[in-house]
Amino acid sequence: MFAFTEDEIVRYSRHILLPEVGGVGQQKLKEARVLIVGAGGLGSPAAFYLAAAGIGTIGIVDDDVVDLSNLQRQILHRTQDVGTPKVESARRALEDLNPGVKVVPYRFRLDAGNVMDLIREYDVIVDGVDNFATRYLLNDACVMAGKPLVDAGILRWDGLVMTIRPGEGPCYRCVFPEPPPPGAIPSCQEAGIIGAIAGIMGTIQALETVKLILGVGETLTGRLLVVDALEGRFRQVTARRDPGCPVCGENPTITQLVEYDLACDIRGNGAGDRTAAAGGAAN
Amino acid sequence: MAVRVRIPVLMRNLTGGESQVTAEGRTVAEVFSDLDRRFPGVKERVYDEEGKLRRFINVYVNEKDIREMQGEETPLADGDEVAIVPAIAGGGPKDRSSASIDR
Ligand SMILES: [Zn+2]
């Protein structure tokens, strides 16, 4: 027997009906610990679906506060949450949805000094960050720690998503060996984003996370899903592990965590952002 | 050799908003040259100062990474699809900044 209450059996009944989930799978979800980095555009839908799915523990990292302009896509947060820390507003939203989920807020910026300790506590990491510095840092840390990382990026009408399973497929650096220099791609500057692309990509991240935990199906490992929302087109391209990859290759040259100084928030186009550091906030 | 080229959103300002264009060339490099003639600026986007493909832009022929084939010298056949896919990190969390770049 599983340790489910009657309410839980009803709440998760549509899961339990699925042969790929069942009581055993639902129990796995309940025992799982998922860390979501960024409570923004991607983190919002990912967190909602993971909480609804009954993931036992959801950690959320974000140092930012809710801004009115976030609400167009960051659906964890409400109008009345403007000015409050995103991790607090996220916790409220997720606990309202499913009080059976334990939400652990981390109100700080992910950096080279704290990332290893943090990811060690979790089974799957979801990348919902807005900048390349944190993205590469998280990739390198997850490769070193052997933690699966579900990565997605969004910009304007485009989205990319892949699932990194260290040792089993390519990492982010295998696919994109180096981050672009500041300003080459408007990752920090305001380039605009259509709200619903965040919903699509974040939801795919939740799906990938659930599959990883259940051990079912095929994850987006070794392939990259490229979404062009303007054209209404999903395509996938292959991604191979690079034997010369500096972090997961045969002779890794990155053996300690490095943080790129991609302080485009400061230098790039004088964008005048309120947050000085390159990481932390979520898209 | 006519191929279809998928243009990412970030480069569509060069193609007049077109998401897909046709181009001529026997190799990926020739296709980029053809594109650059018709849409000046394409080469600057995909090549660095040393003339090498930028490390944060991937090029796929029929969904396969050209780095797994012959790079820019990867031969093309009529009707092939070339896709340009840049790395993207995210979109505008710091919303109040008005700067917008459209290189
Ligand atoms: Zn790698």
User: Residue A156: helix, strand or coil by DSSP?
Assistant: strand
By the CB < 8 Å criterion, does B103 face chain A? Answer: yes
Q: What distance in Å separates the CA atoms of residue A207 and residue A5, rounded to the nearest whole number?
A: 25
| pLDDT in the model for residue A191 | 77
B57, B62, B65, B88, best to mutate vs chain A, most A CBs in 10 Å: B88
| pLDDT in the model for residue A260 | 80
Contact A233, A157 (CB under 8 A): no
Instruction: Spell out the residues 6+ positions from residue A45 whose beta carbon is closer than 8 angstroms to its own.
Output: A75, A198, A199, A202, A203, A205, A206
A190, A200, A227, best to mutate vs chain B, most B CBs in 10 Å: A190
Residue extents of the structural domains in chain B: 2-98
ipTM score assigned to the predicted complex: 0.81
| Nearest CA-CA distance, residue A135 and chain B, Å | 7
Which has the closest alpha carbon to A40: A96, A109, A86, A80? Answer: A86
Hey, what amino acid is at A2? F
B29: left (phi over 0), alpha (psi -120 to 50) or beta: alpha
What superfamily would CATH give domain B2-98? Beta-grasp domain (3.10.20.30)
The string of pLDDT tens digits covering residues A215-235 is 999 999 999 999 999 989 999
* A236 contact residues in B (CB cutoff 8 A): 63
C-beta atoms of B101 and A224 within 8 A: no
Q: What distance in Å separates the CA atoms of residue A239 and residue A223, rounded to the nearest whole number?
A: 5
* A240 contact residues in B (CB cutoff 8 A): 65, 68
Span B49-71, mean pLDDT? Answer: 93
Paired strand residues for B47: B53
C-beta atoms of B56 and A191 within 8 A: no
* A131 → chain B, closest CA residue: B89
Domains in chain A: ranges and CATH:
32-281 (3.40.50.720)
φ, ψ dihedrals at A159, nearest 5°:
-140, 150
The string of pLDDT tens digits covering residues A161-201 is 999 999 999 999 999 998 887 766 664 446 789 999 999 99
Segments in A215-273 forming alpha helices (H): 264-267
Contact A117, A61 (CB under 8 A): no
Q: Is the pLDDT of residue A279 over 60?
A: no
* A184 contact residues in B (CB cutoff 8 A): 54, 56, 103
Which has the closest alpha carbon to A99: A236, A224, A7? Answer: A7
C-beta atoms of B63 and A156 within 8 A: no
Q: Is the pLDDT of residue A277 over 90?
A: no
The string of pLDDT tens digits covering residues A231-261 is 899 999 999 999 999 999 999 999 899 888 7
Tally the C-alpha atoms within 13 A of residue A110's C-alpha that lie toward its C-beta: 40
